[in-house]
Amino acid sequence: MSTTAAGEAVAALGRVLRKRGVAWYLFGAQAVIYWGRPRLSADVDITVLLPIGEARGLAAALREAGFSPLVEEVEEFVERTRVLPLEHRPTGLPVDIVFGGPGFEAEFLERAVPVEIGGEQVPIITPEDLLVTKILAGRPKDIEDARGILAVRGPALDLERTRSLLTILESALDRSDLVRELERLGREGEAPT
DSSP letters, 75-102, are HHHHHHHSEEEEEETTTTEEEEEEE--T
Q: What's the chain's Rg over C-alpha atoms?
A: 17
For the chain, residues classed under CATH 3.30.460.40 are 4-125
In this prediction, residue 37 has a pLDDT band, given cuts at 50, 70 and 90, of confident
Q: What is the pLDDT of residues 15-36, one digit of tens each?
A: 999 999 999 999 998 999 999 8
- What does DSSP say about strands 113-117 and 93-99: parallel, antiparallel, or unpaired? unpaired
User: Residue 106's pLDDT band (boundaries 50, 70, 90)?
Assistant: very high
What pLDDT is attached to residue 191?
43
Q: Looking at the predicted structure, is the pLDDT value of residue 92 above 80?
A: yes
> Does the pLDDT at position 41 exceed 90?
no
- Class of 4-125 per CATH? alpha beta
Q: Any idea what DSSP says for residue 163?
A: H
pLDDT of amino acid 127: 97
Return the ∠ at Cα 73 (arms to 72 and 77), rounded to 5°.
Answer: 115
